[in-house]
Amino acid sequence: MKKFNSEISLVFASVTIQMIDGVQFLIRGVRCHTINKWSYVPLVFVGECLMTNFEIHLRMFYHFARVCTMTLITVNCIILFFMPRVHQKLEKCNFFQISILILTILSVLYSLVICLYVWMNEGNVGKVLQFCYYEQVVPKNYRRLAINFKNGFLIRMKKYPNIRKE
């Protein structure tokens, strides 16, 4: 079997991250489809919601891992084009493969730290809908997008009027 070089490893990591995001969207879609058929969507504690909706953890992993992988791909391309000898030396010591492994571990730790932070600070205080997408979990640029496109969220507010406004 041919040894993976750095480019193949980086493409494989990028595709794997996209597949993880696809699994997250599939789980979320099935859950929301099921919950939309309910006549009542209960409010639950944030900690309980994070423990039952594990696709939120996949989403956090995806956000951090995607940024790291794209940065690594860019650095690899720059080194490949401008410093080919350095690239050969890095490839001999499996630098990019080790970097992918380290970034995967960091992405998992990032997801766990955010969940622990939310769970320890507001886990038993704040309540959200059963299919929670807790706002501290979603990156700020996505929250800004949500503000710009309020119509979809206003429709949901009319459908579920028992949402607590903060």
Task: Evaluate whether residue 89 is within a structural domain.
Answer: yes
Task: Evaluate whether residue 164 is within a structural domain.
Answer: no
Q: Please enumerate in sequence order all residues whose Cβ is within 8 A of that of 115, keeping only pairs 6 or more positions apart, or say none.
A: 50, 57, 60
Task: Give the count of domains, the chain.
Answer: 1
Q: What is the mean pLDDT of residues 121-142?
A: 59
- Which residue type does 21 have? D
Task: Evaluate whether residue 82 is within a structural domain.
Answer: yes
- pLDDT score at 146: 56
pLDDT digits (tens, 9 = 90+) for 23-71: 777 777 776 666 666 666 667 777 777 777 767 777 778 878 888 888 8
Task: Evaluate whether residue 166 is within a structural domain.
Answer: no
Task: Evaluate whether residue 64 is within a structural domain.
Answer: yes
Q: Mapping DSSP to helix (H, G, I), strand (E, B) and coil, where does residue 23 land?
A: helix
CA 104, 106, 112, 118 dihedral sign is: negative
Give the HSE-up count for residue 78: Cα atoms under 13 Å, Cβ half-sphere.
Answer: 6
Q: Which of 1-5, 55-59, 125-129, 142-146 has the highest mean pLDDT?
A: 55-59
- pLDDT score at 165: 46
Task: Evaluate whether residue 155 is within a structural domain.
Answer: yes
94/50: higher pLDDT: 94
Domain residues for the domain of 101 are 6-159
Task: Evaluate whether residue 130 is within a structural domain.
Answer: yes
- pLDDT score at 96: 81
Number of neighbouring beta carbons within 10 Å of residue 85: 8
Task: Evaluate whether residue 165 is within a structural domain.
Answer: no
CA 31, 33, 34, 40 dihedral sign is: positive
Is the predicted pLDDT of residue 147 greater than 50, yes or no? Answer: yes
Mean pLDDT of the chain: 71
Q: What is the mean pLDDT of residues 94-105?
A: 84
